[in-house]
């Protein structure tokens, strides 16, 4: 099974009710999948970190509970998600230095209970 932590492309979660959300990062968790909202670093963890409960299966797309996780489509295959992803991409391009580095993100995810594939180290 492909590890969610190693995916660097934007991810989309499709929930059981059919709604979809672009997320900044996702990590395996003993209870399922921990994911971080876009702009998570500008809010408190209890507002921006979420747990999808259930067994994680698949190689991409993945399933957990009644949700499906997949890569965000490119070349206009997901135009309905550009309202979410566009501002995020623009923020990272213009203010990337304000976004936490990968090691810090993994450290935060580990403190929230995520099972990390790679050790938490400086980069």
pLDDT digit string (tens) for 4-15? 666 667 899 999
Q: Is residue 72 part of a domain?
A: yes
Span 92-120, mean pLDDT?
Answer: 86
Q: Is residue 89 part of a domain?
A: yes
Domain enclosing residue 102, as ranges: 4-111
Q: Is residue 118 part of a domain?
A: no
Confidence tier at 119 by pLDDT (50, 70, 90): very low
pLDDT digit string (tens) for 43-52? 987 899 999 9
pLDDT at 122 over 60: no
- Residue 89 has what pLDDT? 92
pLDDT at 57 over 80: yes
String of DSSP letters for 29-83: ETTEEEEEETTGGGS-HHHHEEEEES-EEESSSEEETTEEEEEPPSTTS-GGGHH
As to burial, measured by CB atoms within 10 angstroms (0-12 exposed, 13-18 middle, 19+ buried), residue 118 is: exposed
Look at the chain and report how many structural domains it folds into.
1
């Amino acid at each position: 099974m492909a590890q969610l932590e190693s995916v660097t492309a934007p991810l989309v979660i499709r929930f059981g009710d059919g709604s979809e959300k672009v997320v900044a990062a996702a990590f395996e968790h003993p209870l399922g999948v921990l994911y971080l909202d876009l702009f998570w670093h500008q809010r408190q963890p209890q507002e921006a970190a979420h747990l999808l409960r259930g067994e994680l299966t698949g190689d991409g797309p993945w399933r957990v509970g009644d949700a499906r996780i997949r890569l965000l489509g490119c070349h206009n295959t997901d135009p309905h998600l550009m309202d979410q992803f566009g501002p995020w991409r623009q923020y990272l391009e213009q203010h990337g230095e304000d976004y936490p580095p990968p090691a810090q993100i993994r450290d935060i995810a580990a403190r929230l209970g995520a099972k990390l594939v790679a050790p938490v180290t400086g980069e």
